[in-house]
């Protein structure tokens, strides 16, 4: 699926409708929606939880706004958590109840599945990209200095991201 507009956009029914139109899907064919967001999500409040990452979405009740505009139930979560759940359900970690998924793309993050479920109380636990590894390093997009993302990850200006390669398949028995 095509990514929605630039992340400087804010969650709105218009953004959801743009995504549907880009896919050639009619609104009345949507039964439910899920939004995978590249930033920390407060799983209890259903809001984007950081003012330093995904700034224009921070504090906004994204789930409520999208559900109101689409007229269907909506779930939102951090992209690392969504990817971890997908890997646990039908990907490289299929059949595993406990999964740590590490994502290295334009950002660096992680998702954690425990007992087959993403813990909504995990909060910022997957924000590995913003752990300081070089206290005198470069300034990160989050405003911190020397975060993992300043020394790892794929530059946003890269024309094309490489295909992800699972480092393991299946669940150890
Ligand atoms: Zn950072």
Give one DSSP letter per residue of 4-45, joined into a string.
Answer: -S-TTS---HHHHHHHHHHHT--GGG---EEEEESS-EETTT
**pLDDT tens readout for residues 79-128:** 888 999 999 999 999 989 999 999 888 788 889 899 999 876 666 677 78
Mean residue pLDDT of the chain comes to 80
Which helix (H) or strand (E) element contains residue 157?
none
CA angle 149/63/122 to nearest 5° reads 50
Distance 57 CA to ligand 1 centre (A): 17
Distance 167 CA to ligand 1 centre (A): 25
Confidence of residue 167 (pLDDT cuts 50, 70, 90): low
Distance 141 CA to ligand 1 centre (A): 6
Contact 1, 23 (CB under 8 A): yes
Distance 107 CA to ligand 1 centre (A): 9
Q: What is the DSSP pairing of strand 108-114 with strand 99-104? A: antiparallel
The verdict on pTM exceeding 0.75 is no
Distance 38 CA to ligand 1 centre (A): 13
Which candidate, 53, 41, 48, 43, places its Cα nearest to that of 11? 48
Distance 80 CA to ligand 1 centre (A): 16
* Domains, the chain, ordered by start: 1-127 (3.30.420)
């Amino acid at each position: 699926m095509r990514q929605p507009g630039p992340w400087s956009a804010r969650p709105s029914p218009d953004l959801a409708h743009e995504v549907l139109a880009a896919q050639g899907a009619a609104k009345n064919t949507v039964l439910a929606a899920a939004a995978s967001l590249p930033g920390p999500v407060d799983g209890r409040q259903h809001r984007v939880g950081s003012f330093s990452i995904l700034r224009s979405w921070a504090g906004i009740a994204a789930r409520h706004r999208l559900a109101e505009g689409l007229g269907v139930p909506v779930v939102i979560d951090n992209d690392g958590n969504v990817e971890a759940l997908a890997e646990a359900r039908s990907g490289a970690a299929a059949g595993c109840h406990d999964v740590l998924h590490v994502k290295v793309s334009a950002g660096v993050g992680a998702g954690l599945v425990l007992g087959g479920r993403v813990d909504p109380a995990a909060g910022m636990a997957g924000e590995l990209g913003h752990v300081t590894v070089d206290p005198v390093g470069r300034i990160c997009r989050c405003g911190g200095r020397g975060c993992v993302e300043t020394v790892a990850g794929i530059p946003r200006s890269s024309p094309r991201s490489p295909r992800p390669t699972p480092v393991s398949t299946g669940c150890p028995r």
